[in-house]
Structure 1
Amino acid sequence: MEQPAARIGSAGEVFLAFLKLGLTSFGGPIAHLGYFRDEIVVRRRWMGEVAYADLVALCQFLPGPASSQVGFALGLWRAGPLGALAAWTAFTLPSALLMTMLALGSAALDGAAAEGVLHGLKLVAVAVVAQAVWGMARTLAPDANRAAIAVVAVAITAILGGALAQVAAIALGALAGLVICRDGGQGATSASRFTISRMTGLTSLTLFAALLVGLPLFAAASGGHWLDLFDAFYRAGALVFGGGHVVLPLLDAETVASGWVNRDTFLAGYGAAQAVPGPLFTFAAYLGAADGGLVGAAIALVAIFLPGFLLLVGVLPFWDALRTRPLMQAGMRGANAAVVGILGTALYNPVWTSAVLTPTDFTLALVGFVALVAWKSPPWIVVVSLGVAGGVLGVL
């Protein structure tokens, strides 16, 4: 493997590079990884191709927002901890601000046209989640064993409902993977060589686990709303396996079921999130702002990203050994198959049942799905088109 580039960059340099990416990176996590490669590996030569491929593999293995974790690690590689913070801030800030402004401004919208636009955005969510289920099923549940795990996960989450059912489905999927998903693993081809000590890694993993277990207890004991909010978004960020869209059912269970945000506002915001650049996880800023204004947006945004970053820093010193273990790979294949089932349940409820109310709704959602999957239309075009169509139909 090629040696890492000399760490001569500054946090300011990293911030400017990732601000450009945060303003222009449309298309979701997979597209973001392509933008990162073009800007950081090819144009700026901060990291070599093999090191970048290893880093992407690690971030796709871990829970959390893969593209943001890659960006965070690239900043860490180039300019240390301040570089990591600069990369995350710059990549996240543009879309977080847009989503926060949308949440704060949506309360002022009224009338048939505004309601139609919001309904159109809910139909966008149908098309986007259907596309995600389709693509993830082909990748993460391509054989009979993993398809069976996905179906069981659908049954568990659809019948039982709630956040605990989703956690149970992932855990059972991982256990099933240990038994029936042992084929298909590939060993590591190179070493990652991040200069993070094992003590730092263990400290980060300990903090991750302590927050995951301790936050619900502290929130229940204190009765403080802000701590409840931080706990809900932290747990959602800690359990997102398989891609950013999986955050939809997790956040629905944490925010809509608790009464913080109504379902129409939730789905409209999720649809609108497809039109902005940067990470999909900034949907958390929208939900936090809808519940608690600017303070709520800041709390939700930090909370949902934090567990993924703690896990990344925690695993980096041990990654080369972990990724070669067949049992670890088998468990992750089973967990990822369960994630397909969880997202499939979310496609039905709340997305489909809340948005598709008439034959016209079904037609518009189908057009959006075909535009994304078959016509390869950019998501922002689908968002704008269905939003306008909803507004026109609302007036008519």
Structure 2
Amino acid sequence: MTATSWSVFKVFLRLGLTSFGGPVAHLGYFREEFVTRRRWLTENYYADLIALCQFLPGPASSQVGMAVGYSRAGYSGALAAWLGFTLPSAIALILFAWGLVKFGNAVPSGAIDGLKVVAVAVVAQAVWGMGRNLCPDLSRITIMALAACFVLLVPFVWAQLAVIALAAPVGLLLFNTNKTPAPPPQSPAAKTGVGFVLLVTFAVLLFALPLLVSVYPSQALAMFDSFYRAGALVFGGGHVVLPLLQAEVVPAGWVSNDTFLAGYGAAQAVPGPLFTFAAFLGAASSGSPSGWAGGLWCLIAIFIPAFLLLLGALPFWDRLRLNARIQAALKGVNAAVVGILLAALYQPVWTSAVHSVEDFALGLLALIALMFWKLPPWLVVLAGGGAGVAIKAIS
């Protein structure tokens, strides 16, 4: 690693150890770290990256993290960001696969509830900050509100894609100017030729792996094919990929349904991306590979599509966004992205975390700690977990 990519790794490792709350909360942590605190990215470029990753299949928050790392240190920065953000939860889930009952019982009662409530505050802070910057006028506030309402009333993954697609022509109509935006700071020059090769590689693997499995049947190759397809074809993040994984690994006899569900429960107790559930499934697999080798094998397989798609699309995206008409469309898209995050703040973040007066009080204190006391997010996360344990004990 270069000095720059090593600094990227260290920052993302800390985030990987403390970023509880799912993909929407991860975007809040990223914004606070890289837009507000470190100023690696502008607010507009960060929102542009979110919009791009919403369009791509795979783990959106992990892809945003890879894009941040790439903007800082090129391809090695993208890899460093992924490693730092992913390894903590992957290692924890492989350990869960070895001793699920022991490690599961070691999680204090109420800690996960407290962490979920803190995630509400993290997402609320992100929505407020992005809304102030990306929705400064009545037109964009209206787009934001309509997007949030549509996504809540039509609770399907395609609804988010439809909102972004509709917001683009609205933005082009309302905000078209001749002003060209500046390129993102310190963004390395990406070659479209490399991007094209990466996108072709993604497609070749998607179609070639099933053929290889039919010609050279082996459990290792079959597992790689199954996890690669899961990472390549799912929109909406970790929770959406679960039915695909269950349909692949349980009927094949690699893990039992009880083990699958127990591992999914354990995955809720760790920070970082839910796609690292693949590491648990690989480690818990019967046959070979299993253990550490199986966990790492399946982890790599499910994340490779995200790498190929994101790093393949970024060179074209960075050039497109410098066009004045595209930038006008992005103003509408960015307002819609804020609306999507606002909808996610309510469902599933709020509805899955706030069930009592105590939960609301903890969430309010966490929000004040983040926005006004300016405490670091990792400290608020730890305090929230401890407060959840205390609330559970008292009640």
Q: TM-score band, normalised by the shorter chain?
A: 0.5 to 0.7
Would the alpha carbon gap of residues 251 and 173 (structure 1) be closer, same or farther in structure 2, given more than 3 Å must change?
farther
Q: 1:61 matched to which residue of 2?
A: 48
5 Å-filtered alignment, 1:255-270, equals 255=242, 268-269=269-270
Q: How far off its partner does 1:176 sit?
A: 1.5
Distance 2:353 2:12 in 1: 30
- Structure 1 position 132 matched with structure 2 position 122: no
| Structure 1 position 388, deviation (Å) | 0.7
Assess if the C-alpha contact under 8 Å between 2:93 and 2:276 holds in 1.
Answer: yes
Please give the alpha-carbon distance, in whole angstroms, between the structure 1 residues aligned to 2:348 and 2:47: 26
Partner of 1:144: 138
SS in 1 for 2:312: helix
Residues 61 and 332, structure 1, Cα contact 8 Å, conserved in 2: yes
Give the unaligned 5+ runs of structure 1: 1-10, 38-51, 77-83, 240-248, 274-282
- Residue 313 of structure 1 aligns with an amino acid whose one-letter code is P
Alignment of 1:99-114 (within 5 A): 99-104=89-94, 107=100, 108-110=102-104, 114=108
CA displacement 1:243-300 (0-9 Å, x = unmatched): xxxxxx644444489877799766654xx34xxxxxxxxx145443355542443334
Distance 1:367 1:193 in 2: 37
Match of 1:28 in 2: 30
CA distance, structure 1, for counterparts of residue 125 and residue 240 of structure 2: 21
1:310 aligns with 2:307: no
Partners of 1:233 and 1:251 within 8 A in 2:
no
Mind listing any 5+ residue stretches in structure 2 that lack a counterpart? 19-28, 54-62, 215-221, 247-259, 284-294
Once residues 256 and 366 of structure 1 are traced to their aligned partners in structure 2, the CA distance between those partners, rounded to angstroms, is: 34
Mapping 1:148-227, distance limit 5 Å: 148-182=142-176, 185-188=179-182, 197-204=191-198, 210=203, 227=225
- 1:239-388 matches, within 5 Å, as 250-255=237-242, 268-269=269-270, 272-273=271-272, 283-293=273-283, 294=295, 295-315=297-317, 319=319, 322-388=320-386
Aligned counterpart, 1:98? 88
* Aligned-partner Cα distance in 1 for 2:370–2:342: 18
Asked if structure 2 preserves the Cα contact closer than 8 Å seen for 1:120 and 1:389, the reply is yes
| Deviation by residue 1:284-324 (Cα, 9 ceiling, x = unmatched) | 454433555424433344443442221223445xx2xx444
The two structures, once aligned, show a CA RMSD in angstroms of 4.2
Seq. identity, %: 29
8 Å CA contact retained: 1:18, 1:90: yes
Q: Counterpart of 1:72 in structure 2: which amino acid?
A: Y
Contact 1:120 1:387 in 2 (8 A): yes
